[in-house]
């Protein structure tokens, strides 16, 4: 197969690119490096099955030759990033999705949308099955991401129903692992980088809010299975084991051995109080479930961030 992956220099996009290449396929990566990083794909230099287009997928583009898949992974994905780039976040979820769908339609390729558990907002149903419509504040600060992804899902379903494009939608829950940007502002990267820099770990609110953390290898395995064997209905891919943010901080303190204290900061606006995927659909349709528990995953992520200690990436945003 030959596939196009937008956001190929990002955290998930680069791991997904590696997965397709490892199975003998070819990948055209598209990235504008707003939040992606060249180091994530540096190891692919000289691989003749990989090529890179430096392009913003929110602007129209065309691609030469046949394609079997278009996977749209471009978007700022950390709350801090999408608050910093609100318009670009709205554009890549809307115009970017439209452009990527247009390429899939023109090439008769399968389309795959990276959607998010944020479509459930601050959920009133717990855990979240795909059938839940969500509780999103459209005009709050997170709305730029949540509504863009909800629009992206609607656009994907319209291309599926109206144009007959073969489509997939994955709803990705909190995912972590090597190649996260050290200062992307997300909780796992923040806590580990703070611990390794001997800075205080910053818990927002009282730390009782929950998230369910999926190690990147598990997430990519689920996404790859969904691409190959799934259907067009949205599918949750995430780790259903739920932790409070405070528990996560304690795990990071323990596994890094840091002398850093834990400090408490204000909770960001519209911060969801709970989040946990119902993965019944992925289990039955794809035979998938996560294998890496949070301690093992955090250990591997700490190893990655240790390799960056002393580099400007550990302090610069
Ligand atoms: N959080 C925190 N300290 C940090 C960063 C995040 O306590 O330094 C909290 C945040 O308020 C949220 C949870 O951790 O409740 C997960 O935040 P993240 O930004 O990773 O992603 P989200 O799930 O909110 O999209």
pLDDT, the chain, mean: 97
Contact of 270 with 82, CB cutoff 8 Å: no
For 204, counting Cβ atoms within 10 Å of its Cβ (0-12 exposed, 13-18 middle, 19+ buried), the class is: middle
pLDDT at 273 over 90: yes
Cα 186 to averaged position of ligand 1 atoms, centre (Å): 6
Percent of the chain with pLDDT over 70: 100
Domain 2-175+215-237 adopts which CATH fold? Rossmann fold (3.40.50)
User: pLDDT tier at 256 (50, 70, 90 boundaries)?
Assistant: very high
Q: Cα torsion for 245, 188, 252, 273, to the nearest 10°?
A: 0
Supply 116's token pair: 């998010």
Q: Is the pLDDT of residue 26 over 90?
A: yes
The ranges assigned to domains in the chain are 2-175+215-237, 176-211+241-275+292-314
Report, as an integer, the average pLDDT of 285-299. Answer: 98
Q: In whole angstroms, how far apart are CA 139 and each of 88, 269, 313? A: 16, 11, 32
* Three-state secondary structure call for residue 30: strand
Choose one of 136, 214, 245, 298 to mutate for the ligand 1 pocket test, by most ligand atoms within 8 angstroms of C-beta: 245
Q: 283: which 2 tokens?
A: 């289990």
Centre of ligand 1 from the C-alpha of residue 25, in Å: 35
Degrees to nearest 5, angle at CA 57 with 56 and 61 = 100
Length of the chain: 317
Answer whether residue 317 shows pLDDT above 80.
no
Give the tens place of pLDDT for each residue, 130-143.
999 999 999 999 99
**pLDDT tens across 201-218, in order?**
999 999 999 999 999 999
Task: Please tell me if the CB atom of residue 268 comes closer than 6 angstroms to any atom of ligand 1.
Answer: yes
Q: Which of 82, 145, 176, 224 is catalytic?
A: 145
How crowded is residue 309: how many other Cβ atoms within 10 Å of its Cβ? 12
Is 119 a residue whose pLDDT tops 90?
yes
> What pLDDT is recorded for position 242?
98
Task: Give the pLDDT mean for 297-302.
Answer: 98
- In ligand 1, the atom with minimum distance to the C-alpha of 190 is 8
Which residue's CA is minimally distant from atom 4 of ligand 1?
187
Q: Return the ligand 1 atom nearest residue 142 CA.
A: 25
145 as an active site residue: the answer is yes
Question: Would you place residue 316 in the very low, low, confident or very high pLDDT band (cuts 50, 70, 90)?
Answer: confident
Q: Any idea which fold 176-211+241-275+292-314 has?
A: UDP-galactose 4-epimerase; domain 1 (3.90.25)
pTM beyond 0.95: yes
Closest CA to 169 of 94, 31, 72, 92: 72
Secondary structure of residue 140 in the 3-state scheme: coil
Q: Each residue of 32-60: pLDDT tens digit?
A: 999 999 999 999 999 999 999 999 999 99
The tokens for 260 are: 């850093």
Residue 29 in this model has a pLDDT that exceeds 90:
yes
Ligand 1 close to Cβ of residue 212 (< 6 A): no
pLDDT confidence of residue 315: 84
Sign for the pseudo-dihedral over CA of 129, 130, 133, 136: positive
Atom 25 of ligand 1: nearest residue by CA position? 79
pLDDT band at 298 (very low <50, low <70, confident <90, very high): very high
Per the CB < 8 A criterion, the answer to whether 174 and 275 are in contact is: yes
Going by CA atoms, what residue is nearest to atom 1 of ligand 1? Answer: 187
Nearest CA to ligand 1 atom 16: 187
pLDDT for 288 beyond 80: yes
Average of per-residue pLDDT across 60-77 = 97
Residue 99 confidence (pLDDT): 98
- Confidence tier at 285 by pLDDT (50, 70, 90): very high
Instruction: For residue 91, name the pLDDT band (cuts at 50, 70, 90).
Output: very high
- Predicted local distance difference test score (pLDDT) of residue 253: 98
């Amino acid at each position: 197969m030959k596939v196009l992956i937008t956001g190929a220099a990002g955290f998930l996009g680069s791991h997904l690119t590696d997965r397709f290449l490892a199975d003998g396929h070819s990948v055209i990566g598209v990235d504008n490096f707003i939040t992606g990083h060249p180091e994530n794909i540096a190891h692919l230099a000289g691989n003749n099955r990989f090529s890179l287009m430096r392009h913003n997928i929110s602007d129209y583009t065309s691609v030469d030759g046949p394609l079997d898949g278009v996977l749209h992974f471009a978007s700022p994905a950390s709350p801090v990033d999408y608050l910093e780039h609100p318009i670009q976040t709205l554009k890549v979820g809307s115009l970017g999705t439209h452009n990527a769908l247009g390429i899939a339609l023109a090439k008769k390729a399968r389309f795959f949308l990276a959607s998010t558990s944020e479509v459930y907002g601050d959920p009133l149903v717990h855990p979240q099955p795909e059938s839940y419509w969500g509780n999103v504040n459209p005009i709050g600060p997170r709305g730029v991401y949540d509504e863009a992804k909800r629009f992206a899902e609607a656009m994907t379903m319209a291309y599926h129903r109206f144009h007959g494009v073969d489509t997939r939608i994955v709803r990705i829950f909190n995912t972590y692992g090597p190649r996260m940007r050290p200062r992307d502002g997300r909780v796992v990267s923040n806590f580990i980088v703070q611990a390794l820099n001997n800075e205080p770990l910053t818990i927002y609110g009282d730390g009782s809010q929950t998230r369910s953390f999926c190690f990147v290898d598990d997430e990519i395995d689920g996404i790859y299975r969904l691409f190959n064997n799934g259907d067009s209905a949205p599918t949750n891919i995430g780790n259903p084991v739920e932790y409070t943010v405070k528990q996560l901080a304690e795990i990071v303190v323990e596994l890094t051995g840091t002398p850093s204290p834990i400090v408490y900061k204000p909770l960001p606006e519209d911060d969801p109080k709970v989040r946990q995927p119902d993965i019944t659909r992925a289990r039955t349709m794809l035979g998938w479930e996560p294998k890496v528990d949070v301690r093992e995953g955090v250990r591997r992520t700490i190893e990655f961030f240790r390799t960056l200690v002393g580099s400007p990436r550990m302090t610069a945003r």
